[in-house]
């Protein structure tokens, strides 16, 4: 999974998962989790034995390897003392989480209906140089700078072994479209990292990925700490979404100041036989502040469909963005990809016109989705590019979902956690399930202790029940901030046999005997906004 020789040092106290929105789970035989108490240690993939059973709240439930320290793997079947503590807890008054933090909103844009958009006439056209040996799939010019496009064949993209999938299909737990916020902008509260410029290097995958990880780290800690795009690119240095997945999983990323981007050096790594200094990567591994823990491939363009026949999963994308996730999308860059100003808008908003034509060179590009706007004129998505601040509004532009469907071919996202758990403002949960609690109880989403369910029917999160006071419609507060609420839904997945009951604060899953190593009846609780259950390389985990 990870490139152990490049990855760096071991990390303590974290989960490691990869999952996919479609297809079956396949786990790399060289991947796994080493567990032991009091600490959980994750080493380089090349030194790990595969843990095929569930990981329970930081401990191995059955059959997984012991830790490097020699501490044996422990079973955490419910003991009488645990049951007694849970009974006492059920009689106590439920605590409310801290009041949600105030938020600073980015101005809502004024955007036209699709049929009222400006035409992408010649003044708006980004003229590329002719395809040459140097730019086999074309290039674009932004503010006089030539930026190469990648050679991408969407039909050649295939699920990778290190991906997995959500357990309960999205169709059984559909995104709560009617309760989703009308507008989402991840620039709110200054939670987006800086606008960057990849320069004359085909490194857009690294830029889109690093931008998404910037945002993830900000969500965990409450502040932006720009990460090193140079280190991200150094780990795989090829214009490939799939190689990026494999190289980054389970590795840490250091600060941008530890290794600033140098396009001249980055360009040399693309040459045959080129690559970063292993010693430099090892040094950066010791300075890492965030651990890449998950990747989910959410959607791929069906093969053989013409542009006008593609239907995007708009509600699913909106739900992912509303849950706080930056999404990374693959596009075939059209001829007209220069945003235009939106008439009547005073905030500076710009959008990509719908009047576009495919680029003959077939050039590809990776770019981020960081918000949406949908008030009566269809859904616009907010793009964040890596072509510098002169593209669009300081590197951002809106695009209508109907326009995006014409040139988007994939959607995926990464998740990560701070290396230092003490720096988080959200509690960090653990992977795996526990033995089923008594009737009327459910595992706490963070501690896994059996607690009586909240009045809404959902689980506790670190001792708190979800509260809607001070939050917008469709949101809930579980840890001092308003996040996307889980849908009020119950059901059972016929394929896995997993049952679920969800309330705004989260979902409780009933795991049947034999599923993912469960010896009898097991449970797993997932908090909002990460209320979906997924299978990962280290056990069951929660995703948005």
Q: What is the pLDDT of residue 121?
A: 47
Same domain for 282 and 392? yes
Residues 243 and 178: their CA atoms lie apart, in Å, by 37
Residue 61 placed within a domain: no
Residue 358 placed within a domain: yes
- Count how many domains the chain has: 2
Written as six digits, the tokens of 200 are 């004359």
Same domain for 226 and 262? yes
Same domain for 156 and 290? yes
Same domain for 466 and 373? no
Residues 154 and 299: their CA atoms lie apart, in Å, by 12
Written as six digits, the tokens of 90 are 């059920």
Q: Which of 421, 438, 473 represents a domain boundary (last residue)?
A: 421
Residues 259 and 272: their CA atoms lie apart, in Å, by 23
**Structural domain boundaries enclosing 317:** 114-421
Q: Residue 83: exposed, middle, or buried by beta-carbon count in 10 A (0-12, 13-18, 19+)?
A: middle
pLDDT, averaged in runs of 10, over the chain (544 residues): 38 41 35 30 29 36 32 32 41 72 85 81 45 70 83 56 71 82 90 94 93 94 94 88 84 96 89 77 94 87 73 91 94 86 87 80 86 86 96 95 90 89 72 87 93 91 92 90 92 95 95 90 93 82 87
Q: Residue 507: exposed, middle, or buried by beta-carbon count in 10 A (0-12, 13-18, 19+)?
A: buried
Same domain for 164 and 295? yes
Same domain for 415 and 432? no
Q: Which of 372, 388, 421 represents a domain boundary (last residue)?
A: 421
Phi, psi of 123 (to 5 degrees): -60, -20
Same domain for 312 and 272? yes
Name, in order, each residue with C-beta under 8 angstroms of 321's C-beta and a sequence gap of 6 or more.
184, 186, 327, 369, 370, 371, 372, 381
Same domain for 401 and 359? yes
Residue 525 placed within a domain: yes
Name, in order, each residue with C-beta under 8 angstroms of 7's C-beta and a sequence gap of 6 or more.
44, 45, 235, 250, 251, 252, 281, 285
Same domain for 404 and 433? no
Residue 383 placed within a domain: yes
Same domain for 452 and 385? no
Enumerate the β-bridge partners of residue 41.
Answer: 12, 34
Q: Which of 421, 443, 465 represents a domain boundary (last residue)?
A: 421
Convert 290-315 to b/e letters by CB count within 10 Å (16 or more is b). Answer: bbbbbbbbbbbbeeeeeeeebebebb
Residues 104 and 187: their CA atoms lie apart, in Å, by 9
Same domain for 120 and 222? yes
Same domain for 497 and 534? yes
Residue 32 placed within a domain: no
Residue 52 placed within a domain: no
Q: What is the pLDDT of residue 38?
A: 28
* SS3 call for 400: strand
Q: Which is nearest to 542 in space by CA: 382, 410, 431?
A: 431
Residue 394 placed within a domain: yes
Whole-model pTM: value is 0.81
Give, in order, the Cα–Cα distances in Å from 83 to each of 55, 437, 441, 445. Answer: 20, 8, 10, 17
Residue 59 placed within a domain: no
Instruction: Kindly report the CATH number assigned to the domain that includes residue 343.
Output: 3.90.70.10
Enumerate the β-bridge partners of residue 11.
Answer: 42
Residues 114 and 410: their CA atoms lie apart, in Å, by 23
């Amino acid at each position: 999974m990870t490139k152990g020789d490049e990855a760096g040092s071991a990390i303590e106290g974290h989960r490691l998962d990869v999952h996919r929105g479609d297809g079956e789970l396949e786990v790399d035989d060289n991947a796994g989790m080493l567990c032991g108490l009091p600490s959980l240690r994750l080493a380089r993939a090349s030194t790990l034995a595969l843990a095929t059973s569930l990981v329970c709240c930081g401990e191995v439930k059955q059959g997984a390897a012991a830790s490097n320290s020699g501490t044996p793997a422990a079973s955490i079947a419910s003991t009488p003392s645990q049951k007694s503590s849970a009974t006492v807890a059920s009689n106590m008054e439920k605590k409310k989480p801290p009041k949600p933090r105030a938020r600073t909103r980015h101005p809502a844009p004024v955007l036209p209906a699709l049929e009222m958009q400006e035409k992408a006439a010649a003044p708006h056209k980004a003229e590329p140089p002719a395809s040459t040996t140097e730019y086999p799939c074309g290039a674009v010019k932004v503010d006089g700078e030539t930026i190469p496009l990648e050679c991408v064949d969407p039909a050649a993209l295939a699920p990778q072994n290190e991906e997995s999938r959500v357990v309960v299909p999205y169709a059984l737990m559909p995104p709560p479209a009617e309760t989703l916020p009308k507008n989402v902008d991840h620039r709110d509260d200054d939670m987006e990292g800086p606008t960057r410029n990849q320069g004359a290097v085909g490194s857009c995958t690294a830029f889109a990925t690093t931008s998404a990880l910037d945002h993830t780290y900000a969500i965990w800690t409450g502040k932006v700490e720009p990460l090193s795009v140079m280190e991200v690119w150094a780990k795989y240095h090829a214009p490939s979404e799939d190689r990026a997945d494999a190289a980054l999983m389970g590795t840490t990323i250091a600060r941008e100041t530890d290794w600033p981007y140098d396009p001249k050096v980055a360009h040399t790594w693309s040459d045959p036989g080129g690559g970063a200094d292993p010693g430099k990567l090892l040094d950066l591994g010791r300075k890492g502040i965030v651990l890449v823990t998950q990747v989910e491939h959410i959607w791929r363009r069906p093969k053989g469909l013409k542009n006008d026949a593609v239907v995007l999963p708009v509600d699913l994308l909106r739900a992912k963005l509303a849950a706080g996730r930056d999404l990374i999308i693959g596009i075939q860059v059209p001829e007209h990809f220069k945003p235009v100003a939106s008439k009547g808008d005073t905030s500076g908003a710009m959008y990509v016109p719908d009047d576009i034509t495919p680029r003959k060179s077939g050039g590809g590009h990776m770019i981020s989705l960081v918000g949406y706007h949908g008030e009566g004129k269809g859904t616009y998505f907010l793009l964040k590019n890596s072509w510098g601040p002169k593209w669009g509004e300081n590197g951002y532009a809106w695009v209508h979902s109907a326009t995006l469907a014409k040139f988007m071919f994939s959607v995926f996202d990464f998740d990560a956690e701070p290396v230092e758990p003490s720096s988080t403002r959200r509690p960090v949960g653990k992977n795996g399930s526990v033995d089923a609690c008594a009737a009327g109880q459910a595992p706490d989403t963070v501690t896994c202790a059996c607690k009586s369910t909240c009045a809404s029917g959902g689980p506790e999160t670190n001792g708190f029940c979800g509260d809607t006071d001070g939050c917008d419609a469709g949101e809930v507060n579980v840890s001092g901030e308003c996040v996307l609420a889980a849908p009020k839904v119950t059901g059972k997945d016929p394929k896995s046999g997993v049952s679920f009951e969800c309330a705004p604060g989260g979902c409780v899953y009933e795991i049947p005997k034999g599923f993912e190593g469960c010896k009898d009846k097991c449970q797993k609780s997932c908090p909002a906004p990460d209320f979906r259950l997924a299978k990962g390389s280290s056990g069951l985990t929660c995703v948005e």
